[in-house]
């Protein structure tokens, strides 16, 4: 998939997820096959730019390009100013969030709430596109609710404003993350515009990625929650799309090595205390498909030393039998 001067390959991308797609996780997913890894959403409010949480979200040190930064806000001028600043800091792509369904976000009239005001959507996108020289992309949902499913209209507004690619989560804001994914609307959006469209929503396997691409005509797929605990899903999907063959499950030693590298990255990036706490969340996801995962999580939560956390993790994952994997 082409985006400005960038060739995004393979056509399977990591979705931006608050509290998940941080610097260590983005790096891991890129190493394991993701063609693009979008940052966690960052507020366009300049007053938050120098707080520790925002600084960490903005850190792209050592990341493979292109670097895509997702901005959250509802004011065209503030979003344009933020986009200019992020480009000066090294962003290669600016992504605008109009898809987050969280009540806290929509309560500020940002995220998916913007889908209710098509005129404001147009002003925001035109202003941001005019402010920067890099590609601007947009992430949306199919609409606010079933009675206001205006994804096609928003897509046309986006294309007219100069948006260069559009990621669509196939649910309305009212759906949140539950219920069936509306791939038909993603298909209708793809048929209505000439810019690349990225299909998002419950892409959980290589076969499903293929089927979604075939049905919708989308140019790429975006994987979110299915990457939590199995970031190797990107290499699995990429291999299947390229060859039509499924890779065998990764061996326990490979899983253990990937997780060890992820933990080390968390300790280094956040510091030992915070890194240990964040690692517990990821280890719960990594272990959820295996027997004895409850006992493992209990031991992990009891330790306060990184070397102990690493030792427990290696002991758990290196003894796995791939045949014992539980259905998720």
Residues tagged active-site: 100
Cβ(183)–Cβ(199) below 8 Å: yes
Map residue 110 onto helix, strand or coil. coil
- What DSSP line would sit under 181-214, residue for residue? --HHHHHHHHHH-SS-EEEES---SHHHHHHHHH
Cβ(3)–Cβ(93) below 8 Å: yes
Task: Quote the CA–CA distance of 318 and 320 in Å, as a whole number.
Answer: 6
User: What's phi and psi for 112, nearest 5 deg?
Assistant: -65, -20
- What DSSP line would sit under 218-251, residue for residue? -SEEEE-GGGTT-TTHHHHHHHHHHHS-PPPPPP
Question: What is the sign, positive or negative, of the torsion defined by CA atoms of 179, 185, 186, 187?
Answer: positive
């Amino acid at each position: 998939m082409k985006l400005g001067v960038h060739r995004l390959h393979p056509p399977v991308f990591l979705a931006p997820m608050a509290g998940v797609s941080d610097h260590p996780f983005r790096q891991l997913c890129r190493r394991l096959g993701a063609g693009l890894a979008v940052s966690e959403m960052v507020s366009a409010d300049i007053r938050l730019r120098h707080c520790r949480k925002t600084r960490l979200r903005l850190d792209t040190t050592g990341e493979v390009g292109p670097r895509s930064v997702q901005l959250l806000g509802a004011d065209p001028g503030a979003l344009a100013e933020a986009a200019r600043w992020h480009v000066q800091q090294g962003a290669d792509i600016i992504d605008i969030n109009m898809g987050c369904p969280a009540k806290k976000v929509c309560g500020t009239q940002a995220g998916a709430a913007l889908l209710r005001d098509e005129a404001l959507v147009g002003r925001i996108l035109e202003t941001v596109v005019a402010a920067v020289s890099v590609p601007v992309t947009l992430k949306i949902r199919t609409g606010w609710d079933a009675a206001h499913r205006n994804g096609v209209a928003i897509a046309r507004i986006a294309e007219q404003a100069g948006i260069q690619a559009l990621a669509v989560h196939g649910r309305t804001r009212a759906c949140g993350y539950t219920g069936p994914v509306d791939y038909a609307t993603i298909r209708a959006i793809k048929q209505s515009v000439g810019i690349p469209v990225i299909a998002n929503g419950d892409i959980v396997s290589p076969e499903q990625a293929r089927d979604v691409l075939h049905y919708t005509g989308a140019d790429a797929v975006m994987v979110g929650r299915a990457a939590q605990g199995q970031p190797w899903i990107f290499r699995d999907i990429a291999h299947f799309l390229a060859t039509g063959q499924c890779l065998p499950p990764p061996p326990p030693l490979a899983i253990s090595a990937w997780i060890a590298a992820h933990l080390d990255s968390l300790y280094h990036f956040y510091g030992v205390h915070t890194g240990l706490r964040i690692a517990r969340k990821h280890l719960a996801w990594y272990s959820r498909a295996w027997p004895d995962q409850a006992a493992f999580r209990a031991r992990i939560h009891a330790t306060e030393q990184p070397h102990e956390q690493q030792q427990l993790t290696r002991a758990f994952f290196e003894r796995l039998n791939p045949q014992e994997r539980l259905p998720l």
